Structure 1
Amino acid sequence: MGDIPEFKRGQINFVIVGFPGLHSRYYGLGFSAHVLGVRVHFAGNGTFLLLFAREKRLRKPMYYILINLAVCDVLFSTTTLPKIISRYWFSDGYVSFTGCFVQMYFVHLFGLVHGLILAVMAFDRYVAVCIPSDTLILFKDSTILMLCVVAWMIPQSCVLMLVIRAYPLPYCAANTIIQCYCDHVAITKLACTDRTPYGFPGFVFAMVLLITPLSFILFSYTSIIIAVLRISTNQERLKAFSTCSSQLIIIALYFFTQVHLPPMINPLIYCLRAKEVREALFKSLEKSTFHFKRKINADVSTIC
């Protein structure tokens, strides 16, 4: 790329391609699918957040963790989905030079926070299943809240370092990002210089912050499975497994799939697998239906 002129910062835009190979005749379908996904995502997470705010019985460590996951999902989607929708509806895939680096920061930040929050979730389940009840007095709601705060704080300086190192690189005429958002690999590939000194530390950093929580999660749930299998009765085993099944689904979707479905279907998992959330949801729906019927009856009485 030595014969390609370098861009001047502030005078270029990056171009988001979106899904490579998608023909322009299907852009409307791509737009519709993403809009539907956005509605499902915000409706699901919004409902869960509202239930948590209204129902005191959901003020438990596990639901504090799920609230953090919901907030992280909403922020990640807010960072990425508007530009994807703009790409397929208005054929506008342009992102300013600085805007692309800002998006890169938030994409990596929320992605890493999500992984660390899942590690906190695994820790909570490990404590609940594997640690004797007389030891549980050491673990309070404040412990989980503190761990969630730490999960939000740890990645910030690391991600900022990646952005600061990538921003001054010389970027040339190839300004096309072959995916749906700006991230470190996609941006630094466009630099007209040897990216090894920048790419390798970023790779190591990503592996450490991804593999460390994943390793802890695998250790925690392996210990949980061993502990559950030692339980004498099948009924108690099933009860213990059921408390972890929804978390395992969320973790598997995050670490072992390459699709962008987890933020949209996580709320469904919360509601379908958590008995207290289902009960709170049905209770809220019954109240809403009751008040709606009363309003209709009152309006009819007034007319008559």
Structure 2
Amino acid sequence: MVPDRNVTFVKDFIIVGFPGLHPSYYALISAVFFLFYVYILLANGTFLFLLATNKRLHKPMYFIYASLVLSDVLFSTSTLPKIIARYWFQDGNISFAACFFQMYLVHYFGVVSSYTLAIMAVDRYIAVCYPFGYHTIMSNRNILILCIMTWVFSHPISIMMVVRAFPLPYCGANTIIHCYCDHISITRLACTDRAPYSFPAFVYAMVILLGSLVIIVFSYSFIIFSVLQISSAHGQLKTFSTCSSQLIIIALFFLPRCFNYLAANIGITFNADLQIAIILLYSLLPPMINPLLYSLKTEEVKNILISKFKKHQVSLTLIS
């Protein structure tokens, strides 16, 4: 079939954000997103700085946290500046190529986080169920290899989604009803039936999410079973406390994501603003609360922070 030469193809896209948001709230929402971004950079950057400067934190668990934290920071950096510019400077334009590159980054860091959470669950499973063999199985070397593999093997699925979506004809609307470019929001704008292209992407996404989730569920099922065998109530509480922060992050990461993908592919529709709010829930909350959970619930990190704060106070006192 010869393409119609009169058809004008999209050269750039427009990030709309919340379609129902009144312009009088643009300054407020941009300020909120800006504060979120600054907090994410400072909080996660603090954790990475402590890890880099304190050998006491050079342990398998913290290397896994570092992988998750780095993924969170890079995801936020690839998405938040554009939506801040959209509301702050009314600059929602993004070029065709840049939009697809952002789509790649969004899905890539999502896959990295998914794999990393699975590794974290396995780490906790071995620590609780095989404590005497933990340092042999989950050595620093083995964990670093696993984390590197996570970042390497997250590329194919993300590249596949871009390669499948990029050649589609985009000759109609160019407004993306979202805060960033992702596969669903972009392919909805294609001037063709998106089902043959979106369904394989949906299957891959669900395999990644559910595959990681199955590993997590099995790991924590064995953890719970082992904890219940502990006779000491104090021991049970301590073990559950160690795992509780990870369970919070896992719930925030997986449950809204699975719901969003399922809703988009089985025809469930609801208010666009509500849908975007759900997406932001699982996109921004984990990067914001991860440092708090890992700092406030981990004694080593907490003690290092306190000691650095006290040293800072002493140095200020001497200077004054």
TM-score w.r.t. length of structure 1: 0.92
1:7–1:165 distance in 2 versus 1, CA, 3 Å: farther
Structure 1 counterpart of 2:305: 281
How big is the shift at 1:6? 4.0
Q: Is 2:200 aligned against 1:201?
A: yes
In structure 1, distance between residues paired with 2:250 and 2:129: 19
Structure 2 counterpart of 1:180: 179
Structure 1 counterpart of 2:319: 295
How big is the shift at 1:96? 0.4
What are the ranges of 5 or more consecutive residues in structure 2 without an aligned counterpart? 257-277
In structure 1, distance between residues paired with 2:6 and 2:307: 63
What's the secondary structure of 1:228's corresponding residue? helix
1:32–1:138 distance in 2 versus 1, CA, 3 Å: closer
Q: Give the letter aligned to residue 125 of structure 1.
A: R
Q: Give the letter aligned to residue 256 of structure 1.
A: L
Alpha-carbon deviations, 1:202-226, whole Å to 9, x = none? 1101011111001110111111011
The answer to whether the Cα contact below 8 Å between 1:4 and 1:173 also exists between their aligned partners in 2 is: no
The answer to whether the Cα contact below 8 Å between 2:36 and 2:288 also exists between their aligned partners in 1 is: yes
In structure 1, distance between residues paired with 2:92 and 2:133: 57
Q: Give the letter aligned to residue 80 of structure 1.
A: T
What's the secondary structure of 2:224's corresponding residue? helix
How big is the shift at 1:173? 2.1
In structure 2, distance between residues paired with 1:113 and 1:31: 28
In structure 2, distance between residues paired with 1:234 and 1:75: 41
Q: Is 2:54 aligned against 1:30?
A: no
What's the secondary structure of 1:15's corresponding residue? strand
1:150–1:53 distance in 2 versus 1, CA, 3 Å: same
Alpha-carbon deviations, 1:61-116, whole Å to 9, x = none? 11001111111011000000000100110111111001100000000000110011
What's the secondary structure of 1:261's corresponding residue? helix
In structure 1, distance between residues paired with 2:5 and 2:127: 59
1:104–1:189 distance in 2 versus 1, CA, 3 Å: same
In structure 2, distance between residues paired with 1:200 and 1:95: 26
What's the secondary structure of 1:95's corresponding residue? strand
1:290–1:155 distance in 2 versus 1, CA, 3 Å: same
* Residue pairs, 1:1-304, within 5 angstroms: 6-8=7-9, 12-131=11-130, 133-134=132-133, 137-257=136-256, 258=278, 259=281, 260-296=284-320
In structure 2, distance between residues paired with 1:205 and 1:188: 16
Moved more, 220-229 or 263-272: 263-272
Task: Number of aligned residue pairs: give it.
Answer: 293
Give identity over the alignment, percent. 53
Moved more, 238-247 or 278-287: 238-247
RMSD: 1.7
Moved more, 151-160 or 111-120: 151-160
TM-score w.r.t. length of structure 2: 0.88
Runs of 4+ displaced beyond 2 Å: 2-9, 134-139
In structure 1, distance between residues paired with 2:318 and 2:154: 50
1:232–1:75 distance in 2 versus 1, CA, 3 Å: same
1:51–1:23 distance in 2 versus 1, CA, 3 Å: same
How big is the shift at 1:138? 3.4
Moved more, 254-263 or 28-37: 254-263
Question: Which of the pair has more CA radius of gyration?
Answer: 1
How big is the shift at 1:239? 1.4
How big is the shift at 1:132? 5.3
Q: Give the letter aligned to residue 24 of structure 2.
A: R
